[in-house]
Chain A
Amino acid sequence: MNPFEIVLMALQAAALMAVSPLVVGIIRKIKARMQNKVGASVLQPYRDLRKMFRKESAVSENASFLFRLIPYVCLTSMLLLAAMTPFVYTQVIAPYADVIAMVYIFTMFRFAMVLGGLEGGSAFGGMGSSREVMMSVLIEPALLISIMTLSAMTGAGFDLSAISGSINARGAAAICPALLLAGTSFVITMVAENTRVPFDNPDTHLELTMVHEGMLLEYSGRGLAIMEFASMVRLTIFMALLGTLFFPWGTAMAMTAAELSVSLLAITVKMLAIAFGIALLESTVAKMRVFRMPNMLTASFALALMAMVSLYVL
């Protein structure tokens, strides 16, 4: 690793985090357009974050030190993940971009969120945490297995960059049932993990449906800004993972200007496509009932498992 590479990696992590509000803004904009609305500017999320970051925070008198710490834990985990995720360049902080560690950092994020939801002692927080926990029990194994399928398929160990690079290098030959199944599972996981429709609606605070927002209910001001930002980053990371792990073609594998610019273009197109997909999904599908969710999540889990199994059976 030369210093330039390190700078590049840091840059790509920074870029990933920097564009995440934009990604959310774009999704919202596309959604608005689909619903024949004008919609806010794609930069609106930046403005919201800035406004909230400056405001005074009101903390529940029942909250403990943990409550104040949790936003930073969440942000930290996203920071680390951003550094691990291949974005425009497959080489990330290898050998520390460990897929298993990645799943556990997601767990850490979620655990912190759940505990945060239980602080304050309102009914909504507990409800959000409860539902989050239910979903995570099914999501997390699916995520683990779908990523593991890639690892096993490529035989590249546990390093995200190696996996990504290996699939990339194989070109079209890498397309196989396992990849497709795992990819599908990952898409469902992505939607569920980021609490998008049909699992949750990030835009409402309706007590019957909310999961993610329930947990954030007690946060305000800077804490809320950080939590919201972390969630945005999470979505972006998932989208980036989908683009660079499951469909990594185009991502730069070497540090040449040509490859990097192609990769930049490719990732932009991929992200836009995924954003469009999410927006389309959210505009066309209704929110699911809470106890319907497990069915969908189990399907995702089964898909992942099938992907893994298909590696050896087919």
Chain B
Amino acid sequence: MDVLGFHFQDTVIVAGFFAATLVPALVGIVLGAIFKSNKVANVVASLCIVSCAVSVSTYPLWHLGLALEYTLPIPSAIGEYRLAIDQLTACMISFSSVIFMLIVVHVVKSTSDSGCRYSALLNALFLACFSCMSADSVLVLLFSWELVTLTTFLLSKKGNNDHARWMFFAIAHLGGMVLICAYSFMASVAGTQVLSQWDGLSSALGHWTSMALIMAIVMGFGTKLGLIPFHAWMPDLYATAPIHTATLLSTVCSNVAILMVFKTVFSYIGITAALTPIAFAIVIIAVATALWGALESLVQREPKKLLAYSSMENMALVVLCMALGIIYIVESPALAKLVLVAGLLHTLNHSVFKSLMLMSIDTVEDCTGEKNIGRMGGLSRTLPALSAVAIIGILAMAAVPPTNGFVSEWLMIQSLMGADLESKGMSLVIPLILAAVGICGMMMAASYARLYGFIFLGRPRSEAMENPRPMKRGTILPLALLAALCLGMGLFAMTIMDVLAASIVSLIGMPPSPGYRSVMSGELLPLVLGTAVVATVAVLYWASKRGAQPEREVPTWSCGEDLDENMQYSSIGFTQPLVKVFHPFYGDTTVVRETKDSKVRTVIIEFVEPFVKYLYKPLGALLTGISERIGKTQTGNIQTYFAYVLITLVVTLLAVRVF
């Protein structure tokens, strides 16, 4: 390849690319581990930004036709560090790097999470994610996936949130263990550890095994995506961890998980007609997760918890798309492409709007020091820039055109509807899925309306809201960029979809035609509709403002009384009608009455996550019970121990004698 008149060997360029990606991050880790000062922390973070910036070029490099395969020149106990990047991986790496970079920029600017340790761990997380996505060896994949878990765990330390972090760590590790077993099994069947040589193992595995493996892999990665019942860690961790950790977890790490699920299911295992039953099981889990996330998000008190449930819902939709892809792929490849494109597009979109919203919400908490959504309000007048970017994020999450969230949900429903419904039991299932997706979408929209309305709109509900600290300088920049991405990806979604479709075609090894566009309606709709919305609003606004009488600012109408801060609808009250409608699902709404004085009485409504109450706690108690039983065997009496030796000896001898 010739660059600026110089000729380079392809291998040199590839090696240079990997070096340029990995080395700054490595240097960052080392620097961050050694130094402590804030200045160095900025250097460390900027090294991370450099790495991200280089890895953004992954897709362009792939596009130039370079074979992005590289083996690091250092062997390890788990074999060689083999990296290989295919088209889909390249897409995801490039895109995730952009998000990662913007988040790190925000870290630097906001300084709330800075510090050498944090920045060094960011570098480590970047490396882990990069190597996980590009891993070409099973063990490297498992190693880096666990490393992602570890670094996010370390990154999530803030104050006294040990329990929340631990919950995450333990559940994620359980998932990791499942993955280790699943991948080991596949490696033993494939006879090689090199992932790029795994090609359609399902014929060798037999379909029962393949189905079990697909389930194990979806659930294994699903522990980080928050699939039911592994979502219990999400709300607490999102609420207590440093926000950038939560953001990375919700965006980049989810992208990694989704990518790995896609690659494993569609490329390594390979889908055959016999595998559809497992897809139905996954559909059920995904739908249940989505509904659960939507339901729980309605009653959350803390904005970050609400966003955690929203992440759960969004990721469940992506998994749903993947499962539908499995169902469609045999009968109608074009539709399968469409639904997979929808899923991947939603993954990308989610990482944009979710990072925007999480960081915006954190800015709110940072500026006001308030964490309870019920005590917020009226920030749009005091923090106008923030409220402007946040409304775009909210619109994107609520899937309102012309944002990117709309496009992916639109595609999703299209692919659901376009299903060839004459076949199998699908005809009954599809309407149900459709209904569930519809209800989820509207419930989430309700949550988002509540989120925005009770934080930015209305009158302030507490002192802190009246005079928030101004935003830190420069923090608006990454947020604005993300907001611009929300709009841009909404308008120009087709370009991204084409790339994703091509990646999926090459991943699955399907014939490129019929393309996904053949089953899709309104190819230009995102662009046309989006432009139409924006243009019409602009024209109407402009036209209407001309010749209008000047407005008058008046106090909010209050039936003649003076409005105090409690005379506003409360955030819990806002969704209360819905809670009443879906009451059985919330199970227990605990009402705590505290009598402080003889006259003052506070009523607090608490929503306990039923999964924690009815699944995790009893399970924990059971395990502890069993362990304590076993613990009783250690009596402290040495005679008992001798007895164990004697019994062991006798039993072993007997066993050997008998068998």
Asked if A and B form a direct contact in the complex, defined as CB atoms under 8 angstroms apart, the reply is: yes
- A residues engaging B (CB < 8 A)? 54-62, 64-66, 68-69, 72-73, 75-77, 79-80, 95-96, 98, 100-101, 104-105, 107-108, 111, 114-115, 117-123, 125-127, 129-131, 133-134, 136-138, 140-141, 144-145, 148, 151-152, 157-159, 217-218, 221-222, 226, 290-291, 294, 301, 305, 308-309, 311-313
Whether A222 contacts B544 by the Cβ 8 Å rule is: yes
Pairs of residues from A and B, 3 with the lowest C-beta to C-beta distance, nearest first: A126-B569, A141-B438, A121-B459
Q: Closest CB-CB distance, A211 to chain B, in whole Å? A: 10
- Given known contacts A95-B525, A101-B529, what 18 new A-B pairs fall within 8 Å (CB)? A56-B549, A56-B552, A58-B551, A96-B529, A100-B417, A107-B442, A111-B449, A115-B449, A115-B453, A118-B454, A121-B458, A121-B568, A126-B570, A136-B446, A222-B549, A305-B432, A308-B431, A312-B427
Cα A110 to Cα B491 with chains together (Å): 22
Known A57-B551, A122-B558, A133-B574; judge A98-B428 contact (CB<8 A): no
Which residues does chain A contribute within 8 Å of B446, judged by CB atoms? Answer: 133-134, 136-137
Can you give 24 contacting A-B residue pairs, CB < 8 Å?
A54-B549, A62-B459, A64-B387, A65-B388, A72-B544, A76-B537, A80-B532, A80-B536, A95-B523, A96-B529, A101-B529, A104-B410, A105-B401, A107-B399, A114-B453, A122-B556, A126-B570, A130-B576, A136-B445, A140-B438, A152-B421, A291-B577, A301-B435, A305-B432
Whether B574 contacts A137 by the Cβ 8 Å rule is: no
Whether A121 contacts B400 by the Cβ 8 Å rule is: no
Q: Does B398 contact A (CB under 8 A)?
A: yes
Cα A192 to Cα B563 with chains together (Å): 32
Which residues does chain B contribute within 8 Å of A104, judged by CB atoms? Answer: 399-401, 406, 409-410
Nearest neighbor of B440 in chain A, beta-carbon distance: A141
Q: How large is the interface on B (under 10, 10 to 19, 20 to 34, 35 or more residues)?
A: 35 or more
Which residues does chain B contribute within 8 Å of A125, judged by CB atoms? Answer: 569
Please tell me which one of the listed residues B406, B554, B574 contacts residue A60 in the complex, with CB atoms under 8 A apart.
Answer: B554
Nearest neighbor of B535 in chain A, beta-carbon distance: A76
Q: Closest CB-CB distance, A160 to chain B, in whole Å? A: 11
Q: Closest CB-CB distance, B93 to chain A, in whole Å? A: 31
Which residues does chain A contribute within 8 Å of B427, judged by CB atoms? Answer: 309, 311-313
Whether B567 contacts A123 by the Cβ 8 Å rule is: yes
Q: Does B61 contact A (CB under 8 A)?
A: no
Cα A299 to Cα B581 with chains together (Å): 13
Interface string of B418-443 (1 = CB under 8 A from A): 00010000011001101100110111
Interface string of B527-563 (1 = CB under 8 A from A): 0110011001100110010001111111111100001
Which residues does chain A contribute within 8 Å of B452, judged by CB atoms? Answer: 115
Interface string of B503-543 (1 = CB under 8 A from A): 00000000000000000011111001100110011001100
Whether B549 contacts A61 by the Cβ 8 Å rule is: no
Whether A226 contacts B434 by the Cβ 8 Å rule is: no
Please tell me which one of the listed residues A56, A105, A111, A117 contacts residue B551 in the complex, with CB atoms under 8 A apart.
Answer: A56
Whether A122 contacts B540 by the Cβ 8 Å rule is: no
Whether A131 contacts B400 by the Cβ 8 Å rule is: no
Cα A57 to Cα B581 with chains together (Å): 37
Whether A66 contacts B380 by the Cβ 8 Å rule is: yes
Which residues does chain A contribute within 8 Å of B414, judged by CB atoms? Answer: 100, 158
Please tell me which one of the listed residues B410, B536, B551, B577 contacts residue A79 in the complex, with CB atoms under 8 A apart.
Answer: B536
Known A145-B434, A312-B421; judge A121-B457 contact (CB<8 A): yes
Cα A120 to Cα B554 with chains together (Å): 10
Cα A151 to Cα B431 with chains together (Å): 12
Give the interface centre of A58, A64, A137 by most chain B CB atoms within 10 Å.
Answer: A137
Whether A76 contacts B536 by the Cβ 8 Å rule is: yes
Q: Closest CB-CB distance, A114 to chain B, in whole Å? A: 5
Whether B522 contacts A218 by the Cβ 8 Å rule is: no
Whether B453 contacts A221 by the Cβ 8 Å rule is: no
Whether A72 contacts B569 by the Cβ 8 Å rule is: no
Which residues does chain A contribute within 8 Å of B573, judged by CB atoms? Answer: 126, 130
Cα A139 to Cα B172 with chains together (Å): 38
SS of A interface (majority):
helix
Cα A311 to Cα B434 with chains together (Å): 15
Give the interface centre of B413, B439, B453, B528 by most chain A CB atoms within 10 Å.
Answer: B453
Q: Does B235 contact A (CB under 8 A)?
A: no
Q: Does B580 contact A (CB under 8 A)?
A: yes
Please tell me which one of the listed residues B381, B395, B453, B540 contacts residue A76 in the complex, with CB atoms under 8 A apart.
Answer: B540
Q: Closest CB-CB distance, B60 to chain A, in whole Å? A: 33
Q: Does B378 contact A (CB under 8 A)?
A: yes
Q: Closest CB-CB distance, B338 to chain A, in whole Å? A: 12
Cα A133 to Cα B557 with chains together (Å): 23
Whether B457 contacts A108 by the Cβ 8 Å rule is: no
Cα A58 to Cα B576 with chains together (Å): 31
Known A101-B410, A111-B398, A222-B544; judge A66-B554 contact (CB<8 A): no
Cα A77 to Cα B432 with chains together (Å): 28
Cα A309 to Cα B435 with chains together (Å): 12
Cα A95 to Cα B441 with chains together (Å): 24
Q: Does B646 contact A (CB under 8 A)?
A: no
Which residues does chain B contribute within 8 Å of A59, judged by CB atoms? Answer: 551-554
Whether B532 contacts A159 by the Cβ 8 Å rule is: no
Whether A134 contacts B578 by the Cβ 8 Å rule is: yes
Known A76-B537, A111-B400; judge A130-B569 contact (CB<8 A): yes
Give the interface centre of A65, A80, A158 by most chain B CB atoms within 10 Å.
Answer: A158
Nearest neighbor of A119 in chain B, beta-carbon distance: B457
Which residues does chain B contribute within 8 Å of A57, judged by CB atoms? Answer: 548-549, 551-552
Which residues does chain B contribute within 8 Å of A101, judged by CB atoms? Answer: 401, 410, 522, 525, 529
Cα A73 to Cα B459 with chains together (Å): 23
Whether A217 contacts B557 by the Cβ 8 Å rule is: yes
Cα A67 to Cα B457 with chains together (Å): 9
Whether A152 contacts B580 by the Cβ 8 Å rule is: no
Cα A121 to Cα B566 with chains together (Å): 10
Nearest neighbor of A109 in chain B, beta-carbon distance: B400
Whether A61 contacts B438 by the Cβ 8 Å rule is: no
Q: Does B377 contact A (CB under 8 A)?
A: yes
Interface string of B572-587 (1 = CB under 8 A from A): 0111111011000000
Q: Closest CB-CB distance, B658 to chain A, in whole Å? A: 60
Q: Closest CB-CB distance, B587 to chain A, in whole Å? A: 19
Cα A75 to Cα B532 with chains together (Å): 12
